[in-house]
Amino acid sequence: MDVYVAPEVAAVADLYEGLLGTDAVQRTAVEQLRLQAERLADGHRRRHRGAFVELSNWYPRLAASPAEEIWSAALGDEDYLGTVARGHGYPDWTSVRPARPAPRFERCVDALLAGDRPAVAELLTTDPDLASARSHWGHRATLLHYLAANGVEIHRQRVPRNAPDLARLLLDSGADVAAQAHLYGAGRTTLGLLLSSSHPAHAGVTGELAEVLRAAGAPQPA
């Protein structure tokens, strides 16, 4: 499948290698994020590129800081836990609840971001409620939100080149183009996220995907 993966997205996926995918579906949100926080702490010590991306995006004090400042920062367990929590749509670690992922939803997200239209279509046919289902993470994103590659888990900010076609499939299956996910501290629609995301732009799909969303009645972002 033809999928655009930005270097920073690939770095975060590499940081958490072995913690994502099938095994993650068996864990609660608390269990999964504790493991990721431990890996983030180790990556920070090792100066792993993925740790830099996570901390510069989701640890407020280090946002947009130069690399040396991030590598030299003295951080503790609560800092790493807070970072991975914010990276999954929670305001802080204390807001994380032991929710369990829905295996079919997770499988559909993975198929969607791989650009596997037949797999997505089959899952939607088998379980039509998936089109309007929401993630168990704090952001509560729908499948459609994931196509904007913005605000959701960084390792999942992949952009399939057939994103416009996948969006049409989701919308034809009942996805709500005006649905809001709790991202960046507020309710965000797919169109708003798309227009402020660099990944779809680099993949060359922003224009066509925006047209699909607008044709379906997407509200104009504020």
**What is the maximal distance between C-alpha atoms in the chain?**
51
Instruction: Work out the pLDDT band at 2, boundaries 50, 70, 90.
Output: very high
Average pLDDT score over residue span 143-150: 98
What pLDDT score was predicted for residue 155? 98
Check pLDDT > 70 for residue 10. yes
Q: Tell me what pLDDT residue 178 has.
A: 97
In the chain, the percentage of residues whose pLDDT exceeds 70 is 100
pLDDT band at 22 (very low <50, low <70, confident <90, very high): confident
List, for residues 117-145, the tens digit of each pLDDT value: 999 999 999 999 999 999 999 999 999 99
Q: What is the pLDDT of residues 44-68, one digit of tens each?
A: 999 999 999 999 999 999 998 999 9
Please, which pLDDT band fits residue 1 given cuts at 50, 70 and 90? low
Task: Please calculate the CA angle 114-25-129 and round it to the nearest 5 degrees.
Answer: 70
pTM (predicted TM-score): 0.96
**DSSP per-residue letters across 67-113:** HHHHHH----HHHHHHHHHHTTT-SSGGG-------HHHHHHHHHHH
Mean pLDDT of 183-200: 96
Return the CATH number of the domain spanning residue range 103-215: 1.25.40.20
Portions of the chain given CATH number 1.25.40.20: 103-215
pLDDT in the model for residue 162: 98
Residue 160 three-state SS: strand
CB 148 within 8 A of CB 212: no
